[in-house]
């Protein structure tokens, strides 16, 4: 854990381009992020979160042009909302 002084230095240095995101998540979500990081040559769970956001943005953009991508995105959204309680912190 970093000190309050270290956190303040980080915030001051990155205030225009980054914000800190601390979230509670179930153990299997942490495990999945570690696996995604390892399998995709990422630098840890934080970068795996960024990568996941990138993949969602790419899929959303692709879905505007490709009906199959739209169908898959709709299936994933529906499944997540149906099972949301499993993923909730």
57 and 69 Cβ atoms separated by less than 8 Å: no
Rounded to two decimals, what is the model's pTM? Answer: 0.79
Q: How confident is the model at residue 27 (pLDDT cuts 50, 70, 90)?
A: very high
- Domain segments of the chain as ranges: 24-87
Note the pLDDT of residue 46. 94
CA dist 54 and 57 (Å) reads 5
Write the pLDDT tens digit of every residue in 41-88.
Answer: 999 999 999 999 999 999 999 999 999 999 999 999 999 999 999 888
């Amino acid at each position: 854990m970093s000190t309050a002084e270290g956190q303040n230095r980080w915030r001051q240095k990155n205030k225009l381009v980054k914000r800190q995101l601390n979230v509670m998540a179930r153990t299997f979500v942490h495990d999945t992020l570690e696996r995604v990081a390892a399998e995709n040559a990422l630098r840890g769970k934080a970068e795996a979160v960024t990568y996941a956001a990138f993949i969602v943005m790419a899929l959303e953009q692709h879905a505007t042009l490709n009906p199959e991508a739209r169908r898959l995105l709709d299936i994933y959204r529906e499944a997540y909302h149906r099972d949301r309680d499993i993923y909730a912190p």
